[in-house]
Structure 1
């Protein structure tokens, strides 16, 4: 622990050491290579830039990687990742780093995308079924895309088994289906703000979604008799997630997968050093989703 504390002290007090640390996480023992075509023959340019001999792409050490989003210094990235690993809020992190909330939130969003991109179902989650692909242009996060009233609200199934949790995007179930199951088949619902979860459904401990004004959310509020307390799984995940779900205010349905996959990541790695895992994730190359 003392060694880890000493490392963090060095990394957060020296931009040079923090940069060398992050570059090593990007490359390991390999030489720099083009993030577009993976060519290793490069021309060195001024300003810590390279030009690929094959595709002629000009780039720097973090180009094409998640860490290239946010505009933070390397010291700031290290401290932000450390505080995020400790489950601090964006507000607390912004105060600690003396950054604007928007800059902090953008960097944390890049971290959440990096976490999601390492999930086994990442390609599906970064596809049109969630709309998350519209937040990316090339290898860069572009913020909130224009709203589309035709975009479906994703529904997820949560299943805990043998100390692991699996959160799956449901293929043939829409938000409207969940209300249909409630109305016609008495599937119990619970609403917390814009979050709606169900009782057990088939092999899943619950279905969960984040609603918006396109759904009849008042339907649940108007008829309290159909929203009893649901005793969901007695497993560890619901105890782990319950307080965190309460923090999720003002989240759009299309950003909700980022938060769910963060919960899945935190729970399944609850006995590991999250800092080291997160540094590795943020330094990976952004996958092609176009």
Structure 2
């Protein structure tokens, strides 16, 4: 009886027990609320296959989709002083950084810089990571943009930046705001070298990033439906005491009002970037280019 109770019954229960699916296998589309299987979503570059809504995309997937065969080299950001102001609100800034690193990696920051081939040519790409403290721009992001600009100038390569940010990082106060002129200088170095600087505005691009490097591109490309602006809609509406028009600050609205040069679907982003860099550098147009991963 003990043998039956202790060994046979537990194994039978384990065989017939219902296995619960991990929570991260399915995701609800924030637009149409359809359930999306994570593998289907990854294969479709984080675009809903029901309503075509563009979900936020992590830097690793973004870089793999842009570079030829997905091959690229990540360049670690220069080391900066952590918590220079010993800032604390509801939590210590150092604790917030620890949480962000636990979720995104020990060396993660709100910007990833990589280099590789795009359409067979050397290209430097910077991708803002909204999952790291809302993509906020602190000293590390400013240093990263300067590094990316220097890499582009040294390699005589175009610089492409995918923006996604809630703005300046308040925990670094004035040091964060100082990154606005610093990133402006970084962009100017690229332009003085006669190299293209292209910005892809993704959801959301707001605050100090919009007021600096995100709006200095030779060409501004936006993803469909991306939120693009400086102040939040509620702040603007409360200030001017007027109801804002439908779609205010969305990519389509900004395109209609001349703030964005073009809106490009994520599936066509790579070929568009190849075409734009070729045009800006006056390269001969090719009908076939190496594929992304």
| TM-score where L is the length of structure 1 | 0.29
Instruction: Specify the structure having the higher radius of gyration (Cα).
Output: 2
* TM-score normalised by length of structure 2: 0.29
Query: Per chain length, whose mean CA-contact separation is higher, i.e. which structure has more relative contact order (CA < 8 Å, sep 6+)?
Result: 1
